[in-house]
Structures are given as structure tokens and as C-alpha cells.
């Protein structure tokens, strides 16, 4: 641990976690930089509880090192443990215990962490270290966990749309007094355009590595060589000013078409009109309200249309806040939910990308190279396939948590268990996001270069999504029938001739039997 200069008497020891890199953090706001000590530590346990993508570890370690310097320049004393420092105990409890032994603080202060397992861990420190531990609310969110719990109380259905409207009222974003700008809360129906290869598509902002990042890249390649994903090329922002520049770049060149092409997918176009900022936002380099104020201002200045501004703001103050609310409301039971009783192991191609299905190959390959895939790739390609095939939601959850630079359980788990796998019995999503190849064909250009035929339902050449889709409808007909948005699919399946039903079952079984279970990155 790089020693901080020893003050007269340390009052608070403030532990700042790798995804708490915000100078307005509630724990820091409660402290006095002349009397208190910030502790930050790179630890193997946090880097390996799932085998995070190399790029995610590089982002966090480099951003942590830069943030420690930022705090020092603001007058804070910071004790920072690097991964390879002598005596690094390898886990947060051990590092806090070492810091307590060295600096003898009167109290430990921390902003609540983003994962339930870590909160339990932190709650044990008071007894273990014989010190008061003060856990502060994370005020970087627009809605507190208590506020969400009050909103949810007594409601039969926890629909995002109603929560989102309250967040619009609370923040005043895109509001004309009490009414939504444009007279409508949601312009999602305008946001279904398919992209064409000849569109001008802006690249996200890339950043040069400085000496700190280069050092971290070498460290991660050396120490986490057996983790999923490519370390090179690493072009993410690792400081607040660069993350803000990345977001401003998006507002200037991508936002105007964010709405139109939100659901589109194109071969070789990994980013389309998405903002590529979730990895910065979730580790604290960006502030969600500040981002949305910029989007609101861009709309009011006439630079972007309303469907784009509204669609973007909905993702950030709607979905992002809502999934966090669900996570803290329902944990720890939520993590074990398996409402459809899906048990198939994760196929190996989720780690290797080796499959003849173009859509899945594209999504997994870019995930490996970029630690990023956009929402529709996650929901309607990797997620949809897992849902149709009956893959264990817990195995899939571990995958999503490991492979994306923006993944923390508070946001990843509800998206996987609830939105994507319908494993929570419909608490989060009003219907399963299940779709056949026709949807992927409509929203992408993947099928044109695929080894499978998207128009065929059964047989060796048929798009596997098709037989799997109808087999999913058959297997879950009882659940699906009671859902007004899905019941029609059960009626359609029921009308298929018996021979077609047998062909569907045989095609699905045959395809699933040929899948190699995950072995490379268990």
C-alpha cells in the first residue's frame, strides 16, 4: 500500500471502490480532506469473482489510478494499493484491515456498493474490525432505493413506463411545466428503423493510452491472461474529462439518430448510433443527470429531434434507474430466479464465437474484441437465443457479468434474469423477449451472409432460431397462453399440422444435441 502522509489523528477511513470514481461521492461529501483518509485498492478478488473481460479490468485499474491522483490534487490524502504491491492481501476486507491497523481510524465510511454480495461483506466489517462502519446511500442515482421501494409498494405491476414518468416529473427533463414536451411521454414507436450499410455512422471517441494506462495494460495481460477478451486495442477514456469528451462527441454526432436506429444491427458496425458510455457511467466517470441535461439542452436548441432525446433520456433515467430499483428490492432471491425452469449449460460458442450463426458470431466476436455489444445484440441475439434454447439463467448471468465493460450486478442481473430471460415470472418484462429469425432478419443484415436459411423453419439448413422459437412456444404454452401479448403465438402453433409440430420438435432437439457445452471459460 502506497502510504499516505500520516495525519495527526485520522477520523474517517473512506473506502472508495473501483466503480465509485466520482468526486461528489456521498462518502467523500461527508468527510474532511484535512482529517480523513481515502483508501483505494486493486485486489485480485474483485477482478476474479467472475473472470471479467481484460478491457474492463484495464479500464477500472487505470481509471482508479487516475482518480486517486485527481483526489490528491484536490487535497485528499489517499492510500492506494496496486495489485502487485507487497503485502496486498488480495481482497477488500484484507486491505481495509491493513489500512485500519496502519492508520487507526475512528470509523470506516463507504458509499453503498453496487452488488449485494459486497454489501453483506461490508456489513461484517464492524464486528470483524471492531469499528463503526457507516454505509452512505449512493446519491449518484436519481431515485434512491427507498424511493423506489415506496413507489413499488402496493403496486400489482412494476412497469418501467410509470416509474419513468415520475422520474421525468422529478427531474423536469423534457417537461413543459407538468406536461411532457411534445404532449407525449414516449416516442418509442418512431424508433424502429432498420439501418442500411451506406449510412454515415460515426465512430465513438477513441483515446490515446498514457503511461499509467500502458502500465495497467501490461499488468492485466500478465496477471489475467486466462480471462475472456482482448486487451488490445484499448481506447477507452480513463478520466472524467475524457469520458465527458466521449459523451459530448456522441451528443454532437450520434444522438440525432439514436432514436431512429436504436434497434438496428449491421454486420461490421459495432456501435451504430449508440453512445458507448455505459462503462464510464457505471464506474462513476460520468453523471447521469448531467448527461441528460445536455441531451435536454440539445433538443431545446433544435440540434436533435424529440424522439432521439426522449429515447435517450428514457434509457438513462427510466431503464437504468428502474433496474437498479428492482435489484435492491428483490435481492438476494432474485439471483436464483428460474421461472421457466431452464437448465441447459451455456454453449461453448458464447466464449469462442465459433458458430455458423452469423448473428451470434458477430455479437460474441465483437464482445470479445470490444467488451461491448449494444442493447439489441444483448437482448435479441445472445439473450433471445439463450431464452429459446432453455439455457440456465444463472449460467447466462455469469457470462453477461464477465464479458461487458459496463457490467455490475445491480444493472446486469435484472436485465438478464428479468428482461432477457423472463426468469422472474414477468416482474420486470410484460412478455418474454422471444423472437424467431424473422425479427433478426428484419432488424439486421446478418441473415444474408449466414450459413442458415432464415426462411426455413425446420431441417438442417433452417435458421435455428425458427424451430427453437416454436419449440419454446410449445414448451411454455401454459405460461404464454395467459399473456395477452403472446397468446396469439400459442394459437398459431396449435394450428400447425401434427407433422410440422413433429418436425419442429425434431429440429430443435437435433440442434440442441449438437451444441458443445461451455468448457473454455467455466
Judged by the rule CB under 6 A, the positions of this chain that interact with ligand SF4 are 357-359, 437, 440-441, 446-447, 450, 452, 454, 463-465
Q: Report what 441 binds from ligand DLZ, ligand SF4, ligand FAD, none; CB cut-off 5-8 Å by kind.
A: ligand SF4
Distance of alpha carbon 15 from its chain centroid, rounded?
23
- Cell of residue 213, nine digits: 494506462
Among 11, 294, 375, 474, indicate the residue that binds ligand FAD (CB under 6 A): 375
501: left (phi over 0), alpha (psi -120 to 50) or beta: alpha
Q: Report what 46 binds from ligand SF4, ligand DLZ, ligand FAD, none; CB cut-off 5-8 Å by kind.
A: ligand DLZ
- Closer by beta carbon to ligand DLZ, 18 or else 288: 18
Residue 106 CB, nearest distance to ligand FAD (Å)? 36
Q: Report what 18 binds from ligand FAD, ligand DLZ, ligand SF4, none; CB cut-off 5-8 Å by kind.
A: ligand DLZ
- Closer by beta carbon to ligand DLZ, 14 or else 357: 14
Distance CA 363, CA 360 (A): 5
Among 22, 269, 275, 352, indicate the residue that binds ligand FAD (CB under 6 A): 275
| DSSP H helices in 82-136 | 92-103, 116-123, 125-129
The answer to whether 323 contacts ligand FAD (rule: CB under 6 A) is yes
Site string for ligand FAD, 401-430 (x = CB under 6 A): ---x-xx---xx--xx--xx----------
Which has the closest alpha carbon to 499: 490, 510, 507, 491? 507
- Cell of residue 485, nine digits: 401479448
Inter-CA distances, 398 with 223, 346, 405, 485, Å: 21, 10, 14, 29
Distance CA 507, CA 189 (A): 35
- Closer by beta carbon to ligand FAD, 76 or else 446: 446
- Closer by beta carbon to ligand DLZ, 102 or else 430: 102
Is 135:113 a contact under the CB 8 Å cutoff? no
Distance CA 11, CA 208 (A): 39
- Closer by beta carbon to ligand FAD, 14 or else 50: 50
- Closer by beta carbon to ligand SF4, 221 or else 375: 375
Inter-CA distances, 502 with 14, 75, 497, 499, Å: 63, 72, 9, 5
Is 354:212 a contact under the CB 8 Å cutoff? no
Q: Report what 440 binds from ligand SF4, ligand FAD, ligand DLZ, none; CB cut-off 5-8 Å by kind.
A: ligand SF4
Distance CA 237, CA 282 (A): 13
- Closer by beta carbon to ligand SF4, 279 or else 359: 359
432: left (phi over 0), alpha (psi -120 to 50) or beta: beta
Q: Report what 407 binds from ligand SF4, ligand FAD, ligand DLZ, none; CB cut-off 5-8 Å by kind.
A: ligand FAD
Q: Report what 115 binds from ligand FAD, ligand DLZ, ligand SF4, none; CB cut-off 5-8 Å by kind.
A: ligand DLZ
Which has the closest alpha carbon to 62: 193, 217, 278? 217
- Closer by beta carbon to ligand FAD, 282 or else 507: 282
CA 68, 19, 279, 400 torsion-angle sign: positive
The DSSP-derived string for 232-300 is: -S-----SHHHHHHHHHHHHHHTGGGTTTTTT-BBTTBSSTT----HHHHTTTSS-HHHHHHHHHHHHH
Residue 161 CB, nearest distance to ligand FAD (Å)? 13
- Closer by beta carbon to ligand SF4, 165 or else 442: 442
Among 52, 53, 82, 274, indicate the residue that binds ligand FAD (CB under 6 A): 274
Q: Report what 143 binds from ligand SF4, ligand FAD, ligand DLZ, none; CB cut-off 5-8 Å by kind.
A: none
3-state secondary structure 40-57: EECCHHHHHCCCCCHHHH
- Name the residue with cell 454515415: 200
Number of residues that bind ligand FAD (CB under 6 A): 27
The answer to whether 278 contacts ligand FAD (rule: CB under 6 A) is yes
Residue 358 CB, nearest distance to ligand DLZ (Å)? 32
Which has the closest alpha carbon to 78: 19, 13, 8? 13
Distance CA 87, CA 68 (A): 20
Residue 119 CB, nearest distance to ligand FAD (Å)? 18
Q: Report what 470 binds from ligand FAD, ligand SF4, ligand DLZ, none; CB cut-off 5-8 Å by kind.
A: none
- Closer by beta carbon to ligand FAD, 247 or else 521: 247
Residue 332 CB, nearest distance to ligand DLZ (Å)? 14
Binding site for ligand FAD (CB under 6 A): 274-278, 281-282, 315-316, 319-320, 323, 374-375, 378-379, 383, 400, 404, 406-407, 411-412, 415-416, 419-420
Amino acid at each position: 500500500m502506497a502510504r499516505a502522509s500520516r495525519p495527526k489523528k485520522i477520523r474517517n477511513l473512506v473506502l472508495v471502490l473501483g466503480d465509485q470514481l466520482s468526486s461528489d461521492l456521498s462518502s467523500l461529501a461527508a468527510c474532511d480532506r484535512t482529517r480523513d483518509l481515502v483508501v483505494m485498492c486493486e485486489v485480485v478478488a474483485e477482478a476474479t469473482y467472475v473472470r471479467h473481460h481484460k478491457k474492463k479490468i484495464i479500464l477500472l485499474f487505470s481509471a482508479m489510478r487516475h482518480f486517486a491522483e485527481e483526489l490528491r490534487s484536490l487535497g485528499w490524502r489517499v492510500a492506494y494499493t496496486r495489485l502487485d504491491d507487497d503485502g496486498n492481501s488480495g481482497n477488500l476486507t484484507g486491505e481495509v484491515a491493513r489500512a485500519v491497523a496502519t492508520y487507526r481510524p475512528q470509523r470506516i465510511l463507504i458509499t453503498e456498493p453496487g452488488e449485494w454480495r459486497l454489501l453483506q461483506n461490508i456489513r461484517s466489517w464492524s464486528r470483524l474490525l471492531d469499528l463503526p462502519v457507516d454505509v452512505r446511500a449512493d446519491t449518484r442515482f436519481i431515485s434512491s432505493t427507498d424511493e423506489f421501494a415506496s413507489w413499488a409498494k402496493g403496486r400489482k405491476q412494476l412497469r418501467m413506463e410509470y416509474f419513468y414518468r415520475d422520474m421525468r416529473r422529478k427531474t423536469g427533463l423534457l417537461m413543459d411545466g407538468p406536461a411532457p414536451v411534445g404532449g407525449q411521454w414516449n416516442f418509442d414507436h418512431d424508433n424502429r428503423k432498420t439501418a442500411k450499410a451506406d449510412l454515415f455512422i460515426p465512430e465513438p471517441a477513441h483515446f490515446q493510452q498514457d503511461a499509467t494506462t500502458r502500465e495497467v495494460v501490461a499488468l492485466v495481460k500478465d496477471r489475467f491472461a486466462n480471462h475472456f477478451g482482448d486487451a488490445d486495442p484499448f481506447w477507452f477514456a480513463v478520466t472524467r474529462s475524457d469520458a465527458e469528451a466521449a459523451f459530448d462527441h456522441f451528443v454532437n454526432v450520434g444522438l440525432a439518430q439514436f432514436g431512429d436506429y436504436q434497434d438496428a444491427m449491421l454486420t461490421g458496425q459495432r456501435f451504430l448510433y449508440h453512445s458507448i458510455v455505459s462503462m464510464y457511467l457505471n464506474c462513476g466517470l460520468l453523471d447521469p443527470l448531467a448527461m441528460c441535461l445536455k441531451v435536454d439542452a440539445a433538443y431545446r436548441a433544435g440540434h436533435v429531434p424529440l424522439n432521439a432525446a426522449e429515447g435517450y433520456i428514457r434509457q438513462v433515467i427510466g431503464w437504468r434507474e428502474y433496474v437498479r430499483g428492482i435489484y435492491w428490492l428483490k435481492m438476494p432471491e432474485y439471483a436464483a430466479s428460474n421461472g421457466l425452469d431452464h437448465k441447459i449449460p451455456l454453449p461453448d460458442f458464447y466464449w469462442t464465437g465459433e458458430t455458423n450463426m452469423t448473428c451470434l458470431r458477430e455479437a460474441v466476436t465483437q464482445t470479445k474484441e470490444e467488451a461491448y455489444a449494444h442493447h439489441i445484440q444483448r437482448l435479441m441475439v445472445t439473450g433471445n437465443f439463450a431464452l429459446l434454447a432453455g439455457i440456465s439463467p444463472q449460467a447466462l448471468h455469469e457470462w453477461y457479468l464477465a464479458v461487458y465493460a459496463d457490467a455490475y450486478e445491480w444493472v446486469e442481473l435484472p436485465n438478464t434474469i428479468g428482461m432477457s430471460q423472463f426468469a422472474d415470472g414477468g416482474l420486470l418484462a410484460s412478455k418474454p423477449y422471444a423472437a424467431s429469425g424473422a425479427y433478426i432478419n428484419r432488424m439486421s443484415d446478418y441473415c444474408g451472409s449466414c450459413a442458415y436459411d432464415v426462411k426455413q423453419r425446420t431441417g438442417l439448413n433452417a435458421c435455428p432460431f425458427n424451430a427453437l422459437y416454436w419449440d419454446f412456444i410449445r414448451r411454455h404454452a401454459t405460461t404464454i397462453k395467459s399473456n395477452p401479448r403472446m397468446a396469439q403465438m400459442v394459437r398459431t402453433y396449435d394450428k400447425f399440422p401434427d407433422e410440422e409440430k413433429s418436425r419442429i420438435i425434431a429440429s430443435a432437439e437435433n440442434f440442441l444435441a449438437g451444441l458443445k457445452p461451455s468448457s473454455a471459460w467455466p
